[in-house]
Structure 1
Amino acid sequence: MIPAAGKTRIAVAGAGYIGQAHMGVAQHSATCTLAAIVDPAPAAEAIAAQAQVPLYATLDQLLVEDRPDGIVLATPNQLHVEQARTCLAAGVPVLLEKPIAPTVAEAQALVDDVERSGARMLIGHHRAHSPIMARAKQVIEEGRLGPLVAVMGSAVFFKPDEYYAGAPWRREPGGGPILLNMIHEIHNLRMLCGDIVAVQAFASHATRGFAVEDTVAINLRFASGALGTFMLSDTAACPRSWEQTSQENPAYSTYPDEDCYVIAGTFGSLSVPTMRLKSYATPADRSWWKPFDEEIVTMQRADPLALQMEHFGRVVRGEAEPIVSARDGLQNLRITEAIVEAARSGRIVETV
């Protein structure tokens, strides 16, 4: 293990739920260390005291008094662009939590700044660091499924009433599962199946009756020609979501017999995250009357947030390029906004 004095010093801005998760992995990292917390809220004082690190009210104060090697921005969405630019101007690498920006227009302007300056920015789509995702991507890239044809996905779960009572803004447009949850799924699907070029969607709020959707049926067209369907709902009593199947977050009950993605090609199909692979032994002799060869693809589980922090440390030190770039963050947001527009208008919305 690298001595604390030699570790990459990471500050975390935003002491909420996800910010505290970043703090925890930085404190337990073999190569990084938590250097400071930035948050003006009074509650942050106890968090900083417990972590035994300095607390600063603003990024400007941190950068003047105790400049870190890298900064995690886990602050409210509306602050992302302004605070990211503060870090860029100071030349400090950033791990910016998703979404990259509140709107596509703001995200595009930030991406232009990042690419023009050559700044090091990693977008916090932490599932991109999941060993499950890496193994599934490897199976697909090895051609074991053949050319991809169909993708079936789901993120169906039940958010309790207090989730909305505690934050009434979640009942309004911008607070529903498309913008809060689907953006995670978009990056996963892009990792596994390539770019999404067009979407269709039906949205409903029939169950809760809020101004925002609670259930959405989505069609996807990929650049490869593959087609996908995705069912999204935060009011369905069902465990077919990443959180409830991946076993990566102990905060959720998990069901290891369930999957949230099935990717099918002309030779076989892979169910994720159970990693059940069904394929034809002889691709030249394929038929629905023929039995599949069946196997469970071996893999190892690890905390993707911890792996993300290790990767961010390498990005900060110039040892790696971000595996989720600012442009990736922009495209994820663009597709998510396209789903909102498709549900509103009833049209097919292109995303490129």
Structure 2
Amino acid sequence: MPKTRIAVAGAGYIGQAHVGVVRSSPTCTLSAIVDPAPGAAALAAAAGVPHYASLEELISKDRPDGIVLATPNQLHVEHAMCCIDAGLPMLLEKPLAPTFAEGERLVQLVERSGAKVLIGHHRAHSPIMAKASEVVESGQLGRLVSVTGSATFLKPDNYYDDAPWRREPGAGPILLNMIHEVHNLRMLCGEIVAVQAMASHAVRGFPVEDTVAISLRFASGALGTFMLSDTAASARSWEQTSQENKAYPSYDDEDCYVISGTNGSLSVPTMRLKTYPRTEDRSWWKPFEQGVVGMVRDDPIKRQMEHFGAVIRGQAQPLVSARDGLANLRVTEAIVQAAKSGRTVEL
């Protein structure tokens, strides 16, 4: 069977990651790179594929089987609509839109048109997350009670110096980083129905936050707490614990989530499991049975690309639909609203 031809629009950091995995894919092949930036032509030449300055030029001259939209957030809706009009399946990077209102209109268009759209929440393709969700769903932990989570890490000063827009409203770790965590929490614990938040910019002093404490209520009645900071010298983040992205140093004595139920708890991603024996005599005076859940590690961006190819070929439905992406965006916006207002935001 011929390989599925996939173009990548956007030659930034995440676009280059997509280029790398599609070039090494056993089922897909890179057909083109789309980006008006000068460096994109050199990237396309190095990959041995054509370079186009716009989606319209790509579609008119060298239509692929599918496209990855790794373009700037503010262009996601415009570019997605262009691909829907052309009947072109897409992997649309998160967030699916800059705002919930724009995202809602886009989702309605996707659902009316029947477009094939996979949202780029790549951690949904992590085998660690799949195994953790399996443990929760199996009932080994009992009824879900709570989850504690963290994404605490230190971004260097040049992260902001190189892109000053990251200091301004519309950026900050809630909008840039928390949306990943929201999807993970929804996978593990179900739908989030209310949030509270307290934000600070005391360390960096930028208009946007650098640290946020978040409280969550899930539809099941379970509660959660989450600490987010991009100025904390800490390793309690997915990147620094999962070992999935080799660009980050990893620390196998750290976890970023602890999920607790009435019968036990699971720490992720070390997958340490503590449960009581299946008896009625359970209490904090009784010892846990302890173990580690077996699982594999693999690059979720690579697995996402294989899944996207299957979606294009009609062999699978999107694991992360446009409506899933909208739900993640809604929770992220609610956290921003809660931090500004000091009130509980019901979803």
TM-score, length of structure 1 as denominator length: 0.98
The aligned counterpart of 2:265 is: 269
SS at match of 1:200: strand
Match among 135, 148, 160 for residue 156 of structure 2: 160
The aligned counterpart of 1:130 is: 126
The aligned counterpart of 1:212 is: 208
Match among 142, 145, 153 for residue 146 of structure 1: 142
1:326 aligns with 2:308: no
The aligned counterpart of 2:63 is: 67
The aligned counterpart of 1:236 is: 232
Q: Which runs of 5+ in 2 are unaligned?
A: none
1:221 aligns with 2:217: yes
SS at match of 2:104: helix
1:274-313 alignment to 2 at 5 Å? 274-313=270-309
CA distance in 1, matches of 2:221, 2:303: 32
CA distance in 1, matches of 2:12, 2:170: 20
The 8 Å contact of residues 215 and 234 in structure 1, kept in 2 or not, is answered as yes
The aligned counterpart of 1:117 is: 113
1:186 aligns with 2:170: no
In the alignment, residue 178 of structure 2 is paired with which amino acid?
M
The aligned counterpart of 2:101 is: 105
1:77 aligns with 2:73: yes
Residue identity (%): 74
Deviations 1:298-329 (CA, angstroms, capped at 9, x unpaired): 00000000000000001001111101000011
After superposition, the CA RMSD in angstroms is 0.6
CA distance in 2, matches of 1:253, 1:340: 30
Deviation at 1:175, TM superposition (A): 1.4
CA distance in 2, matches of 1:286, 1:47: 60
Deviations 1:230-271 (CA, angstroms, capped at 9, x unpaired): 000000000000000000001111001100000000010000
CA distance in 2, matches of 1:282, 1:139: 16
The 8 Å contact of residues 267 and 283 in structure 1, kept in 2 or not, is answered as no
The 8 Å contact of residues 129 and 307 in structure 1, kept in 2 or not, is answered as yes
Match among 233, 238, 254 for residue 250 of structure 2: 254
Q: Which runs of 5+ in 1 are unaligned?
A: none
The aligned counterpart of 1:18 is: 14
CA distance in 2, matches of 1:283, 1:101: 49
SS at match of 1:224: coil
Deviations 1:20-67 (CA, angstroms, capped at 9, x unpaired): 100000000011110111011111111000000000111011111111
CA distance in 1, matches of 2:279, 2:70: 48
The aligned counterpart of 1:42 is: 38
Deviation at 1:283, TM superposition (A): 3.9
The number of residue pairs the alignment matches comes to: 347
SS at match of 1:284: coil
TM-score, length of structure 2 as denominator length: 0.99
The aligned counterpart of 1:8 is: 4
Deviation at 1:350, TM superposition (A): 1.1
CA distance in 2, matches of 1:284, 1:328: 39
1:176 aligns with 2:179: no
The range that moved more, 338-347 or 274-283, is: 274-283
Q: Which runs of 4+ in 1 moved over 3 A?
A: none
